[in-house]
Amino acid sequence: MNVHGVWALYKYEMARAARTVWQSLVTPVITTVLYFVVFGSAIGSRMEDIGTVDYGAFIVPGLIMLSLLTQSISNASFGIYFPKFSGTVYEILSAPMSPIETVIGYVGAAATKSIILGLIILATATFFVDLRIEHPFVMVLFLVLTAVTFSLFGFIIGIWADGFEQLSFIPMLIVTPLTFLGGAFYSIRMLPEPWESISLANPVVYLVSGFRWSFYGEGDVPVVWSLGITALFLAVCLGAVIWIFRTGYRLKE
Across 218-235, average pLDDT: 92
Looking at the predicted structure, is the pLDDT value of residue 35 above 90?
Answer: no
Looking at the predicted structure, is the pLDDT value of residue 41 above 80?
Answer: no
Across 108-116, average pLDDT: 92
Looking at the predicted structure, is the pLDDT value of residue 214 above 90?
Answer: yes
- Return the bridge partners of 50, or none: 53
Provide φ and ψ at 50, rounded to 5°. Answer: -100, 110
At residue 47, the pLDDT reads 66
At residue 46, the pLDDT reads 65
At residue 253, the pLDDT reads 60
At residue 234, the pLDDT reads 93
At residue 20, the pLDDT reads 72
pTM of the model: 0.90
Question: By C-alpha distance, which of 90, 158, 109, 89 is closest to 9?
Answer: 109
Provide φ and ψ at 136, rounded to 5°. Answer: -60, -35
